[in-house]
Structure 1
Amino acid sequence: MTQFQVGRLVGYSASAISRIERGQMRVDLHARLSLAHALGIPPERVSGFPVPVGPVIDTVADVPVPDEEDAMRRRTVLTGALAAGTAAVVGTDTAATVPPVPLEDVLFRLPSGEPAPLQALATRTAAAREAFTAARYTRLGAALPDLLAAAEATRDAAAGRARQQASAILARAYVLTAELAAKEHSDAAWVAADRALAAARTSGMPVPIGEASRVLAITMRRSGRSAAAVRLLTHEAGGLDPAEARTGAVRTSLLLTAAYSAAAGRDRTTALALLDEAEEDVARRPDAPGGLFTVEATRAQVDGYRISVHNALGTPDEAVNVARGLNVGLMPTAERRARAWTDTARMWHALGDGTQAFAALRHVEQEAAQEVRRPALRALTSNLLYGPTRQPGLREFAVRTGAVPA
C-alpha cells in the first residue's frame, strides 16, 4: 500500500503518514489503533495490552490510558461538544441525550456523506463558523461530523473549478474542527489541521491556505515548537498583500498568531516586532471583520493580542495600560470577547489582583458560558478560590462553572 492509500483509510494525508514512518510525528493510542485496524495488525502489538476484537471506534473507549486525569482534562468539553443530541440539533446548547463521540473517533471514521450543492455546503459551513464565534461549542460539535462527511463527498465528486471551491469549503470545515480541538489541547487538532492545510493547498486559494496554516501553527506551538510555528506563519504572511482587504486580513491574523507563538518561546524581540507589524497593517487599511474564523483584523484585536503576548513573556505589568484602554465591546464575536477577558483575567492574576481577575472572569461568563467551563479557566478559578484573598461570590462561581464540586 502507498502512503496515500494508508492515509485515506485512517484520515491522514500521505505526508502525515510519511512523518509517522520517519518518527517525526507523534500519534496517540487512538491513532495507533486506527492504523492497526486498517493494516490488519493485532491491536495488542501497538497498545501493549489485549484489546477486544471489533471495530476501533467500538473498542477505543474501553482502552485504559496512561494518565486518565490528563485525558479527562483534554476531552471534557470536546466529548460534550461532539454529542449529537436532539437538543443540539434544534439549536440549543443543553446537554445531549445520546452518548458522546470522542473527536478522534469522528476524524478517523466519518459518517457516510452525499455530495451537496456548493452553495448549500458553504451555507452550512458559515453556520458552523457562527456557532464557533458565538462560543456555542456543543452546537458546533454536533454539526461537524455530518458537515465534514458532506464536504469530503462533495470534493471527491467534483472536478475542475468546482473541486477547488469544494476543497476550500472542506479546508474551512477542518479549520473549525482544529479550532475546537485546540480549545482542549487535544491531539486531534494535529489531524484536523493537517487535513485543513492539505485541502486548502488543493484549492489553490490564498485565504484558506492562510487560515489552515494558522491552525497548524497553533498545534505546533502547543507541542512546544514555537520557533517552527513562527517560521511557518511568517512565511505564509510574506506571500499575502497587506493592502488587499481579504488577504490583508489573513496576513494580520497570521502575524498576530506568530507574535503570540514567539512570546510562548520567550522571544521578546520577535514577538513585539510582529505585533508592531500587525498594527501597521491595520493602520494602512479599514478594519476587515467577518472573513476569518476567529481573529478579526482590527486594532482591538491587536491590543487583545498585546495583552496575551505580555502574559506569555512574563511581563503582565506592561499590559495594564493596554487592558485599561481596550474596549472589548468593539470585538464583534463572543468568542473573541471572551478571549480578551480571559487574557485580562490572567494578567490581573499574575499581578496578584484577585478582585480584578475575578471581575474579568465574570465578564467571560457573561460573554460565553461554555468558554468559562474550559479546563484552563476552571484552573484559574480554582487558583483564585484557594488564594489568600476571599472573594464574595467566587465559590458560587466556581461551583457553577465546574471548577469545584458542588
Structure 2
Amino acid sequence: MDADLTTGERIRVLRESRGMSRPVLAQLCGRGVEWLKKIESGERELTSHPLLLQLAAALQVADLSVITGADTPAAAATAAPLGRLAHPGMPDIWSAVMTRSLTPAAAGLVDAAALQGRVDQMWRLWHTSARNRTEVGALLPDLIRDGEHAVRTLDGEQRRRAQVALSDIYRLTGQATAYVAPAELAWVVADRALSAAQAADQPAAIAAASWNLGNILRETAYAEEALRVVEEAADLIRPHLDGAPDDWRGIYGALQLHAAVTAAREGREGDAWRYWERGDQVAKNLPVAYVHPSTVFGRANVDFHAVSVATDLKKSVRAIGLADDIDPDAMPSVERRARLWVEVARGHLQRGDRTAALHVMQMAHRIGAETVSYTPSARTVAADLWRNSPRSMRAESSRLAESVGIATVG
C-alpha cells in the first residue's frame, strides 16, 4: 500500500483487491452507495470510529492502520476481530463478550424472568427475520451484559434461572456469529453457554448448550468429538424425559438430528439414518404442531434434516425426491426454510443441473437473504453458479453472486 494514499483511496484499493463492488461494501456497513463513493473520493472524511471498525470487518482487515495509514500505537493496537466472513455487528459483540467485567456494575438487579423473556423474544426474531444476523446482532451486546450482571447480583433460585437465561444468550450469540466470529470468540461463547447451564444444574439447558458446542466442533472438523458431546448430552437428559416438558424432549430430538448430519458428513450412511430415525420417533411422540423455540425441532425440521442427510451423503436423487414431498411453509423459521433450499440447490449441483440450482438459490435468497450471505455452503453454491453457469445464465448468476457478496464485476 502506497504510503501517500488517503484513507478513501486505501478503502477503494482494499475493496477492489477483494473483488467487492461498492454497493456490497456499503450494504455491509449499513450505508448507502453515495456515502461510500464520497469516502473513497475524499469528498467526505471518515471520522466515525464505529464506521471505521465496520469497514475493517467488511474488508477483512485486522489492523486499522492499513485503512487509515496512521502508523501510531493507537491505530496499530485497534484490531477488528475477523471470522471466515465479515459482519459489521461483530466488533460490538466481540466487546461485550471479551471485555466482561469481573465485578458487578452499579446498576440495579435484573429480573431473571424478564431476562428469559427477552431471550425468548430474540430467538423468535432470529427465526422470523430475513435480516436475522443484523437485527439480533444489534441487540445482543446489551443482552449479554445484562445476563452477566444478573448472575453476579442474584442469588438462590433467581440466580439459577439467570444462569439458564445466560446459557441461552450465549447459545444465541453462537448462532448469530457463526462464520463471522473469530475462532477464539466462537470457543469462548460455546464454553460459557455450557458452563452457565452446568452451574444451573438443569439437564435441558446442558443438553441445549451441548448441541451448540457440537455445532462448533463439527464446523471446525472435530466430527468425532461433536458426536461424543451430543451423545453424552442425550444420555444425560434421557432419564428425565418421562413426564418432562415438551421442550426437554425437543432438545433431545435436536441432538439426534445433529448427530445424523455429523455422521452423514463423515460418510457414515447407516449411522446417519439411524440417528435421523431416532429424531423422527421423538417428533412422532410430540404434538403435531410442536416446534422447539431455539432449535426449531419438530415434524417439519425432521423432514428438512432428511434432505440435509441425503445431500451430505451425496444421494442427490433421494434428497430432491424428499424435498418434493415437503411443505416449506410448515416450518416457522425463515432461516431454516432458506437453508432447506440451499440443500436442494446443492443436490441439483451434484447432478450437474445448474439451471435448477440457480432457480432454487434465488428462492433461498428471497426467503432469507442473510442466511444465504453468511452460510459458507450457500456461498459455495452461488460461487459455483457464477463461475460455471452457461452463457444464458451468467447475468442471473452474477446478480445472485453480487447480492450474496461474492466477487463479481466491480
Please confirm whether the aligned pair reaches a TM-score higher than 0.5, indicating the same fold. yes
Aligned to 2:64: none
- The alignment status of 1:140 with 2:136, answered yes or no, reads yes
Aligned to 2:299: 299
The match for 1:162 among 141, 155, 158 is 158
Aligned to 1:81: 89
Give the Cα–Cα distance (whole angstroms) in 1 for the partners of residues 277 and 243 of structure 2.
16
**Identity between Structure 1 and Structure 2 (%):** 24
Give the Cα–Cα distance (whole angstroms) in 2 for the partners of residues 404 and 218 of structure 1.
28
Deviations 1:43-83 (A, max 9, x none): xxxxxxxx9767xx9825179xxxxxxx5x61413xx234x
Is the alpha carbon distance of 1:287 and 1:189 closer, same or farther for their aligned partners in structure 2, counting shifts above 3 Å? farther
Aligned to 2:256: 255
Native 8 Å contact 1:288 1:297 kept in 2: no
Give the Cα–Cα distance (whole angstroms) in 2 for the partners of residues 102 and 386 of structure 1.
35
Describe the SS at the equivalent of 2:171.
Answer: helix
Native 8 Å contact 2:314 2:347 kept in 1: no
Aligned to 1:98: none
The one-letter amino acid paired with 1:76 is: A
- The alignment status of 1:340 with 2:340, answered yes or no, reads yes
Aligned to 1:34: none
Is the alpha carbon distance of 1:215 and 1:58 closer, same or farther for their aligned partners in structure 2, counting shifts above 3 Å? farther
- The alignment status of 1:106 with 2:96, answered yes or no, reads yes
Give the Cα–Cα distance (whole angstroms) in 2 for the partners of residues 130 and 275 of structure 1.
25
Higher RCO (C-alpha under 8 Å, 6+ residues apart): 2
Query: Which sits farther off after the overlay, 227-236 or 392-401?
Result: 392-401
Deviations 1:112-144 (A, max 9, x none): 864412232122212321232124211111111
Query: Which sits farther off after the overlay, 127-136 or 157-166?
Result: 127-136
The one-letter amino acid paired with 1:395 is: S
Aligned to 2:79: 61
The match for 1:152 among 140, 148, 153 is 148
Native 8 Å contact 2:339 2:372 kept in 1: no
Describe the SS at the equivalent of 2:86.
Answer: helix
The match for 2:110 among 108, 113, 116 is 116
Shift of 1:183: 4.2
Native 8 Å contact 2:342 2:364 kept in 1: yes
Deviations 1:207-234 (A, max 9, x none): 2212111010111111211112112112
Q: How does 1:340-379 map to 2 (within 5 A)?
A: 340-374=340-374, 376=376, 377-379=378-380
Deviations 1:176-211 (A, max 9, x none): 011122244741221111100000111122222121
Give the Cα–Cα distance (whole angstroms) in 2 for the partners of residues 259 and 350 of structure 1.
20
Native 8 Å contact 1:184 1:375 kept in 2: no
Is the alpha carbon distance of 1:62 and 1:214 closer, same or farther for their aligned partners in structure 2, counting shifts above 3 Å? closer
- The alignment status of 1:310 with 2:320, answered yes or no, reads no
Aligned to 1:130: 124
Native 8 Å contact 1:227 1:265 kept in 2: no
Aligned to 1:403: 406
Give the Cα–Cα distance (whole angstroms) in 1 for the partners of residues 285 and 134 of structure 2.
38
Native 8 Å contact 1:243 1:285 kept in 2: no
Post-superposition, which runs of at least 4 consecutive aligned residues in structure 1 deviate over 3 A? Answer: 51-54, 102-106, 110-115, 183-186, 287-292
Aligned to 2:197: 200
Is the alpha carbon distance of 1:291 and 1:62 closer, same or farther for their aligned partners in structure 2, counting shifts above 3 Å? closer
Describe the SS at the equivalent of 1:266.
Answer: coil
Greater radius of gyration (CA): 2
Aligned to 1:383: 384
Shift of 1:284: 2.2
Give the Cα–Cα distance (whole angstroms) in 2 for the partners of residues 220 and 52 of structure 1.
38
Aligned to 1:319: 319
Give the Cα–Cα distance (whole angstroms) in 1 for the partners of residues 302 and 292 of structure 2.
16
Native 8 Å contact 1:310 1:316 kept in 2: yes
Query: Which sits farther off after the overlay, 148-157 or 105-114?
Result: 105-114
**Paired residues, number:** 325
Aligned to 1:329: 329
Give the Cα–Cα distance (whole angstroms) in 2 for the partners of residues 265 and 335 of structure 1.
24
Native 8 Å contact 2:373 2:404 kept in 1: yes
Describe the SS at the equivalent of 2:301.
Answer: helix
Native 8 Å contact 1:81 1:140 kept in 2: no
The one-letter amino acid paired with 2:397 is: L
Is the alpha carbon distance of 1:236 and 1:313 closer, same or farther for their aligned partners in structure 2, counting shifts above 3 Å? same
Q: How does 1:229-308 map to 2 (within 5 A)?
A: 229-238=226-235, 239-240=237-238, 241=241, 244=244, 245-287=246-288, 289-293=290-294, 295-308=295-308
Give the Cα–Cα distance (whole angstroms) in 2 for the partners of residues 105 and 402 of structure 1.
25
Shift of 1:306: 1.5
The one-letter amino acid paired with 1:319 is: A
Shift of 1:315: 2.4
Describe the SS at the equivalent of 1:61.
Answer: coil
Native 8 Å contact 2:197 2:206 kept in 1: yes
Shift of 1:313: 2.1
Give the Cα–Cα distance (whole angstroms) in 2 for the partners of residues 60 and 308 of structure 1.
41
Gapped runs of 5+ residues in structure 2?
1-70
Deviations 1:238-288 (A, max 9, x none): 333277422111111110011111122222221110001111111122146
Native 8 Å contact 1:345 1:360 kept in 2: yes
Give the Cα–Cα distance (whole angstroms) in 2 for the partners of residues 296 and 398 of structure 1.
29
Deviations 1:150-192 (A, max 9, x none): 1111111111111110000000000001112224474122111
Is the alpha carbon distance of 1:330 and 1:288 closer, same or farther for their aligned partners in structure 2, counting shifts above 3 Å? closer
Native 8 Å contact 1:256 1:274 kept in 2: yes
Shift of 1:397: 2.4
The one-letter amino acid paired with 1:303 is: D
Query: Which sits farther off after the overlay, 252-261 or 366-375?
Result: 366-375
Describe the SS at the equivalent of 1:182.
Answer: coil
Gapped runs of 5+ residues in structure 1?
1-50, 64-70, 83-100
Query: Which sits farther off after the overlay, 386-395 or 303-312?
Result: 386-395
